[in-house]
């Protein structure tokens, strides 16, 4: 697998492509699992898979500026809806691939309370993980308590790095990212009912050929699902949002976790 940064994709997009290769744009939170699966697929089939990892915003910007992708994978319905409206992807090919949960990560051995320290979240204006974090904190009645403590990352992994470096005491990130950084420990998992389901969706790019469709089919299969599960991702049929009874109990317990007197 060849890995590229999507922020440098004008040169990437201008490459001379072979008829059989597959060009994938995927969000950075999928770097480990999609990278592993791309390598496995190439070993099985001989078809080269080139992957560019970036934030959903960066991927969308590159595609809107003419970059070509055979396969696009990201966790944002809004970004994919926009790409479909702009005819950058084949909206009819879209399907949910996996789901994720939000976790509160801390740099060991920090206490699981915020106090006067900072809380890292991804930028909710541009990053799906930040939008989910804001929704969860608001649903749990914590947003007004923590808003003055917030520091923003440009992607979920950038937010995790703020915690890993000690620049924030706690961070709200995807659980799959937090579990893979040895510098960070997961101190809590936010309830699925506190935010809209986090689903990673896949869509084929406009004009994608049979090699891309075959790779998408591989990612939808049982072998790939087992690999997603091994890396901590869930079935795309995620739990519902806004279950009031559950939220009342969670508000009380999470207030004790995040906010100290």
> Which of helix, strand or coil describes residue 41?
helix
Q: Which residues pair with 50 in a beta bridge?
A: 2, 23
Q: Which residues pair with 204 in a beta bridge?
A: 71, 90
Q: Please give the structure tokens belonging to residue 144.
A: 């007004």
Rg (CA), the chain: 19
- CA 35 to chain CA centroid, Å, is 14
| pLDDT number for residue 234 | 92
| pLDDT number for residue 241 | 52
pLDDT band at 4 (very low <50, low <70, confident <90, very high): low
Strands 102-107 and 22-27: unpaired
pTM here?
0.81
Angle between helices 210-219 and 31-45 (to 10 degrees): 120
pLDDT band at 256 (very low <50, low <70, confident <90, very high): very low
Please give the domain boundaries of the chain with CATH numbers for all domains: 2-99+199-230 (3.40.190.10), 102-195+240-258 (3.40.190.10)
- CA 105 to chain CA centroid, Å, is 16
- φ, ψ (nearest 5 deg) of residue 237: -80, 80
Asked if residue 170 lies in contact with residue 111, where contact means CB atoms within 8 angstroms, the answer is no
Average pLDDT of span 60-86 = 91
Average pLDDT of span 55-80 = 90
Q: Which residues pair with 24 in a beta bridge?
A: 51, 71
| pLDDT number for residue 113 | 57
> Which of helix, strand or coil describes residue 234?
strand
Q: What is the DSSP letter of 141?
A: T
Q: Is the pLDDT of residue 259 over 80?
A: no
């Amino acid at each position: 697998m060849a890995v590229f940064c999507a922020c440098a994709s004008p040169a990437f997009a201008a490459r001379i492509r072979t008829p059989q290769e597959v060009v994938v744009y995927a969000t950075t939170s999928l770097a480990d699992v999609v990278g592993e699966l791309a390598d496995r697929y190439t070993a099985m089939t001989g078809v080269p898979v080139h992957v560019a990892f970036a934030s959903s915003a960066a991927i969308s910007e590159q595609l809107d500026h003419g970059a070509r992708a055979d396969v696009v994978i990201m966790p944002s319905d809004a970004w994919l809806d926009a790409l479909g409206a702009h005819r950058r992807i084949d909206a009819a090919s879209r399907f949910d691939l996996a789901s994720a949960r939000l976790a509160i990560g801390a740099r060991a051995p920090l206490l699981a309370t915020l106090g006067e320290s900072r809380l890292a979240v991804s930028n909710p204006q541009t990053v799906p993980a930040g939008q989910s974090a804001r929704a969860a904190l608001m649903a749990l009645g914590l947003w007004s308590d923590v808003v003055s403590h917030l520091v923003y990352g440009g992607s979920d992994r950038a937010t995790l790095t703020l915690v890993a470096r000690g620049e924030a005491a706690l961070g709200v990130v995807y659980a799959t990212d937090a579990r893979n950084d040895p510098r960070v420990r997961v101190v809590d998992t936010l309830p699925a009912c506190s935010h809209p389901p986090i689903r990673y969706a896949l869509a084929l790019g406009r004009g994608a050929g049979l090699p891309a469709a075959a790779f998408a089919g591989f990612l939808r299969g049982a072998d790939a699902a087992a690999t997603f599960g091994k890396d901590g991702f869930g079935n795309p049929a995620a739990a519902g949002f806004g279950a009031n009874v559950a939220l009342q109990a969670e508000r009380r317990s999470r207030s004790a976790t995040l906010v100290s007197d």
